[in-house]
Amino acid sequence: MTEKQDELIYRNNRELHYSFDPEQGYTRKVDYQYPGNQVIIQQGWDVVESRVRDVSARIKEGKLSPLSYYMEKNQMELPMLSDYTGFMRWRIKRHLKPGVFSRLRPATLAKYASVFDVGVNELLNPPLT
Amino acid sequence: MMESKPMMINYIHRQAGHCESGATSNLFNYYGIQMSEPMAFGIGTGIYFSYLPFIKLMFAPMMSFRNLPNTVFHRSMKYLGVDATVIKKFNDVKESMDVLDRNLEKGIPTGVQVGVFNLTFFPPEYRQHYNMHNMVVYGKEGNLYHISDTVMEHPQTLTYDDLVRVRWAKGAFAPKGKMYWINHVPEELDIRYGVEQGIKKSVYEMTKVPFWLVGIKGMRVMAKDIRKWPKKHGNQKAAFYLGSILRMAEDFGTGGAGFRYIYGAFLKESGQKFDNKALLEAADLMGRTANKWREFTYLGARNCKNRSSQPIEDYVTLGDMMMEIAGMEEQVFKRIEKIKI
């Protein structure tokens, strides 16, 4: 049992699982996600992380603005970020250029910061990976 | 903000496999109707399948194992003749919260649709841009709302601002403050009629919708696509797509195997209640189908985990398995198609 518990990656919440056995019929039990599935969940998050790494590298090269870091980190694409901020898509697209982004007005920066739930300072200097 | 006295409704939180059928069943129970989660799920026609490869959700083909949000609540109320209200959307944030507060003052536990990305009590691994989650608000103390979220083991709380944030999440299927509640439950509920209507509708949706990507037909299309994935997209992307099927089928709040166990449990409970042999047989078959789904996800998970050496053969095996599952589900719905309860 301890060995099985060690394999678990996520142990934050136990869920209700149904199961079926031809002899016993339907049963329910409360438990963590089974280990195999936890690996799949982690793989999903690994993809997010690798995208964040890619984008970090391009920010360091000076090809993208810090805004792109927060978009990947929050898994937001243009349409969604446009919904949250109320900015037009083409405008957000422009803000992905480092030169344009560095000249943004404080009000615009504050809007982005509030959507991503960070301070303006953090928005300008993301913890690149 | 106006100071108000604490309001708590004596609402019982019971964990469930699926957020909306769990909320619906708990709401029924609050009004004194014994209604299990599978019954609410079945009468509310929660079971579904659609595969929309041209829409990408989180970079993977979109598929769904369940009906659109609010279907379970709305249809179970309709088929059982319960007086309930659904406010589909609000135009104003403040108004959506005021209406909720007024409901709580009147002692009405109220269901809300929310996005989970900013749901603070959710563990980090649950938090994606998924806007079809449901929970019930049953109390307010000062700035704190008391929440029953059936995916969580225990009741939770949210601040006013956090609740606004999740009720007004943006993106696909944005909740726009949607809320729903029960007004009045009649003394006598015709469960038999509800079950009959629910089954009829599900049979239609799973086998008869004239569109090739919905129901059993959609499962067959997906099966054929799975076989082609490694050749068409390369190994890495195929593994990611496969992973996304598994995440949809087994992740948070499905009850396992893409809701198939819950539906099977519904058939079983109805069969026992009305002493109907055909329903019991269908329940058994649904259970076996669900186990086959589980087998599919186990095999898929192993495949994703180990990056197998002969991917093309493996994906053919998985595709064949999906075909078999489609055949089994078709059997289930054929069995209950012309049922008389």
Q: What's residue B56's pLDDT?
A: 82
Helix (H, G, I), strand (E, B) or coil at A1: coil
Q: Is A129 a domain residue?
A: no
pLDDT band at A3 (very low <50, low <70, confident <90, very high): very low
Contact assignment for A26 to B298 by CB distance below 8 Å = no
C-beta atoms surrounding A47 within 10 Å: 18
Contact A95, A85 (CB under 8 A): no
B89, B147: one domain: yes
For residue B51, the cross-strand partners are: B63
A65, A24: one domain: no
B204, B294: one domain: yes
Pairwise CA distance, residues B113 & B132, whole Å: 6
A109, A86: one domain: yes
Contact B129, A84 (CB under 8 A): no
Q: What angle do CA B293, B297, B302 make, to 5 degrees?
A: 150
Pairwise CA distance, residues A93 & A78, whole Å: 8
Chain-centre distance of CA B109, in angstroms? Answer: 20
Asked if the model's pLDDT at residue B57 lies above 80, the reply is no
B33 token code pair: 């109707």
Dihedral sign (CA B148, B151, B156, B159): negative
A19, A46: one domain: no
| Segments forming the whole domain that contains residue B308 | 192-335
Contact assignment for B290 to A20 by CB distance below 8 Å = yes
Question: Using the 8-state DSSP alphabet, how is residue B257 labeled?
Answer: G
> How many domains does chain B contain in total?
2
Asked if the model's pLDDT at residue B83 lies above 60, the reply is yes
Q: What's residue B3's pLDDT?
A: 52
Using CB atoms, pick whichever of B15, B59, B291 lies closest to residue A16. Answer: B15
Asked if the model's pLDDT at residue B172 lies above 90, the reply is no
Contact B329, B203 (CB under 8 A): no
Binding-face residues of A in 34-73 toward B, CB within 8 A: 36-37, 39-45, 47
Nearest to B85 by CA among B70, B97, B63: B70
Q: Is B147 a domain residue?
A: yes
B114, B31: one domain: yes
B236, B315: one domain: yes
Backbone phi, then psi, for A23, in 5-degree steps?
-85, -45
Alpha-carbon distance A24 to nearest alpha carbon in chain B (angstroms): 11
Q: Is A83 a domain residue?
A: yes
Q: Is B70 a domain residue?
A: no
Q: What is the mean pLDDT of chain A?
A: 90
B144, B220: one domain: no
Using CB atoms, pick whichever of B16, B261, B305 lies closest to residue A26. Answer: B261
pLDDT band at A65 (very low <50, low <70, confident <90, very high): very high
C-beta atoms surrounding B28 within 10 Å: 22
Q: What's residue B126's pLDDT?
A: 87
Would an 8 Å CB–CB cutoff place A86 in contact with chain B?
Answer: no
Q: What is the mean pLDDT of chain B?
A: 91
Q: Is B275 a domain residue?
A: yes
A73, A10: one domain: no
Angle between helix axes A35-60 and B277-306 (nearest 10 degrees) is 40
Nearest CA in chain A to B280: A25
> How many domains does chain A contain in total?
2
| Segments forming the whole domain that contains residue A14 | 2-33
A67, A15: one domain: no
Asked if the model's pLDDT at residue B234 lies above 50, the reply is yes
CATH number at residue A53: 1.10.260.40
Would an 8 Å CB–CB cutoff place B128 in contact with chain A?
Answer: yes
Of A26, A47, A49, which to mutate for an interface test with B (greatest number of B Cβ within 10 Å)?
A26
Contact A66, B266 (CB under 8 A): no
A68, A14: one domain: no
A26, A56: one domain: no
Which of these ranges, A108-112, B177-181, B248-252, B274-278, has the smallest mean pLDDT? B248-252
- What letter represents residue B177's amino acid? G
Would an 8 Å CB–CB cutoff place B155 in contact with chain A?
Answer: no
Asked if the model's pLDDT at residue B55 lies above 90, the reply is no
pLDDT band at B154 (very low <50, low <70, confident <90, very high): very high
Question: Using the 8-state DSSP alphabet, how is residue B204 labeled?
Answer: I
Of A13, A71, A76, which to mutate for an interface test with B (greatest number of B Cβ within 10 Å)?
A13
B19 token code pair: 């957020």
Burial label for A17, CB within 10 Å (0-12, 13-18, 19+), is: buried
- Greater confidence (B59 vs A126) lies with A126
Would an 8 Å CB–CB cutoff place A89 in contact with chain B?
Answer: no
pTM for this structure?
Answer: 0.90
Q: What's residue A4's pLDDT?
A: 52
Using CB atoms, pick whichever of A14, A37, A83 lies closest to residue B250. Answer: A37
B305, B258: one domain: yes
CB pairs under 8 A between A and B: 107
B145, B205: one domain: no
The ipTM is: 0.87
Pairwise CA distance, residues B238 & A45, whole Å: 16
B110, B240: one domain: no
pLDDT band at A129 (very low <50, low <70, confident <90, very high): confident
B212, B162: one domain: no
Q: What's residue B235's pLDDT?
A: 85
Q: Mean of the pLDDT values across residues A66-73?
A: 95
Q: Round the CA-based radius of gyration of chain A to a whole number and report it.
A: 21
Contact B9, B25 (CB under 8 A): no
C-beta atoms surrounding B291 within 10 Å: 19
Contact assignment for A13 to B171 by CB distance below 8 Å = no
